[in-house]
Amino acid sequence: MTTEDSAARDPEGRGGGPAAGRDQAVRAAVEQGLITPESPVAGLLDVTGIRRSAAALRAAFAEVTAPGTPVLHAFAVKAAALVPVLRLLADEGLGCEVASPGELALARAAGLPADRMVLDSPAKTYAELREALALGIAVNADNPQELARLDTLVGSPGSPGSSGSSGSSGSSGSSGEIASPLGLRVNPQVGGGSIDALSTAKPISKFGFALRDEGAREWIVRAFLDRPWLTRLHAHVGSQGMPLELMAAGVRETYELAEAINAAAGRRQIDTLDIGGGLPVSFASDEPPAFGDYARLLRATVPGLLDGRYGLVTEFGRALLAKSGMVLARVEYAKSAGGRPIAVTHAGAQLATRTVFAPEFWPVRVVAYDAKGRPKAGPRVAQDVAGPCCFAGDLVAENRPLPLLEAGDLAALLDTGAYYFTNHFAYNSLPRPPVYGFAADPAAPGGVRFALARPQQTVAEIVAESGGAQRDALTSGGLGGDALSGGGRGGGEQGGGADSVT
Ligand SMILES: *Cc1c(COP(=O)(O)O)cnc(C)c1O
């Protein structure tokens, strides 16, 4: 697979400036005791890099939009669901795209105002919709049934809500009271990219109103004409592996539908287009995401989108964070099997879930450091870099040529600022690792200052989250009762359990 090859081509990422900053951060992390035998893995976030990335995104769209165009860059919270990260991005003028009550709560905890949030999940409950509308958060409805729920909440003419039959006491009276900008998510069905699981714009996709299905466009136009309070269209064409041209084609389809709706309405009913996220990231080099290229491609492909008649929302996730994060993990043991050196580290499927389960799509660069955090030299030796999880496939790199990793060394997984250590997988009840932000500071030891952005999950927290307080729920304290557990052990009658349930 060519992606795997390219990840291996520049494994140490020493092509330029970012590598030097990375090396310094690793060295300082060791010097300051962030990585120790007792605390063998951490996520590190380059705060300056995140700010630079946010600035690059803003500048890219500022360059192509008419002066005065309202643009909201709403960070896709799922990519790095950490309150201090959302706060940092808010500080850079960004908003949040949320897709669950948890993500909404994180964005609110970060202090995001309602007018900088967008709610997009494909499975919003009635209660979630009501809360979003009560807060004034933008909502993009995914399907006709969800739109019908909005009808009841908004109280549009002819809807159950306006006739008072919904029985929902929280229903808002009229559209005049709704501060939330409301829109529909469409699937332009322009096709998929190289990663099937992340391709949202294939003809068959669970997301949005499928635009090219028979009768769909007419249905959507009618839906807007019937609902003056619908003012947005949203499309998110895919993530990672999508060619920019396909993304731009999806945006063009969405724009053209907006133009058709506004023409049919005889007014600028749709005032804002939400063009989603999905800008791919290089996992093979330090090349930054191409915000500028994408913005210029949009100008070339959909000039009308940027001429000032429409407000814009974007929803980038990975492109904003991936390059600014790394996992740093200690090598616990270095062994060999079948002639293959294997470094057993503390970073595996619990942090690099996609890489472990779909390595052909998600190769990551691994850099070898010694126990003091200095880049390892020496000849490259093909080796496996394994994680701590108890299954054989728990490898973050297989047969990868690297300076030979030894016990006590460190392995850094690069470009993991999005969807890696912030998207923990609870396999083996391994704890969520601590996350530190860092920035250059000549006064700090090693020239780098760290700030804890998320503490390591404690074992007590793992027990609590795993039903620690419900210990006896399935036995004497709940379903079992003395009769059943006694009967089970004694191999006697099973019928006695019914008593204990009541
Ligand atoms: C995941 C997602 C995004 C962000 O995708 P990235 O590839 O991380 O930029 C944006 N919008 C929606 C609706 C999403 O589901």
Residue 487 lies in a domain: yes
| Burial of residue 60, with CB atoms counted within 10 A of its CB: 0-12 exposed, 13-18 middle, 19 or more buried | buried
Confidence of residue 482 (pLDDT cuts 50, 70, 90): low
Report the SS3 class of residue 186: strand
Q: Are residues 438 and 480 in the same domain?
A: no
Distance 38 CA to ligand 1 centre (A): 36
Single-letter amino acid, residue 174 = S
Identify whether residues 354 and 436 lie together within a single domain. Answer: yes
Query: Residues with beta carbon inside 6 Å of ligand 1?
Result: 76, 78-79, 97, 120, 236, 239-240, 276-279, 315-319
For residue 451, is pLDDT > 70?
yes
Least-confidence region, from 173-177, 265-269, 441-445: 173-177
Residue 467 lies in a domain: no
Half-sphere exposure of residue 321: CA atoms within 13 angstroms, side-chain side: 32
**How far is 140 from 232, CA to CA, in rounded Å?**
8
Query: pLDDT tens digits, residue range 226-263?
Result: 999 999 999 998 888 889 999 999 999 999 999 999 99
Please report, in angstroms and rounded to a whole number, the separation of the first and last CA atoms in the chain. 59
Global pTM reads 0.90
**Which CATH number fits the domain that encloses residue 362?**
2.40.37.10
User: Per-residue pLDDT averaged across 18-37, rounded?
Assistant: 97
Does 451 lie in the same domain as 482? no
Q: Which of 117, 274, 315, 321, when mutated, tests ligand 1's pocket best, judged by the most ligand atoms within 8 Å of its CB?
A: 315
Please say if the pLDDT value at position 167 is more than 80: no
Q: Is residue 137 part of a domain?
A: no
Q: Does residue 364 sit in the same domain as residue 382?
A: yes
Check residues 129 and 193 and name the one with the higher pLDDT. 129
Percent of the chain exceeding pLDDT 90 equals 80
Quick check: is 381 in a domain?
yes
- 371 Cα–ligand 1 center, Å: 37
Question: What pLDDT score does 370 carry?
Answer: 98
Nearest to 273 by CA among 241, 222, 237, 322: 237
Residues 328 and 445 placed together within one structural domain of the fold: yes
| In-domain check, residue 119 | no
Atom of ligand 1 nearest to the CA of 198: 7
492 shares a domain with 397:
no
Asked, for residue 451, whether it belongs to a domain, the answer is yes
Whether 449 and 502 map to the same domain: the answer is: no
Is residue 389 within 8 A of residue 427, CB to CB? The reply is: yes
How large is the average pLDDT for residues 197-222? 86
Q: 411 with 487, same domain?
A: no
Q: Which domain holds residue 484?
A: 472-502
Asked whether residue 366 falls in the same domain as residue 456, the answer is: yes
- How sure is the predictor about 215, in pLDDT bands with cuts at 50, 70 and 90? very high
Residue 254 in any domain: the answer is: no
**Residues 373, 431 within the same domain:** yes
Same domain, 396 and 480: no
Q: Which of 57, 78, 142, 254 to mutate to test the pocket of ligand 1 (most atoms within 8 A of CB)?
A: 78
- Inter-residue contact 138 to 116 (CB < 8 Å): no
Most informative mutation of 236, 240, 362 for ligand 1 (most atoms within 8 A of CB): 236
Please give the tally of structural domains in the chain. 2
Interval between CA 74 and ligand 1 midpoint (Å): 10
Q: pLDDT tens digit string along 290-338? A: 999 999 999 999 999 999 999 999 999 999 999 999 999 999 999 999 9
Are the C-beta atoms of 328 and 29 separated by less than 8 Å?
A: yes
pLDDT tens, position by position, 347-396: 999 999 999 999 999 999 999 999 999 999 999 999 999 999 999 999 99
Residue 67 lies in a domain: no
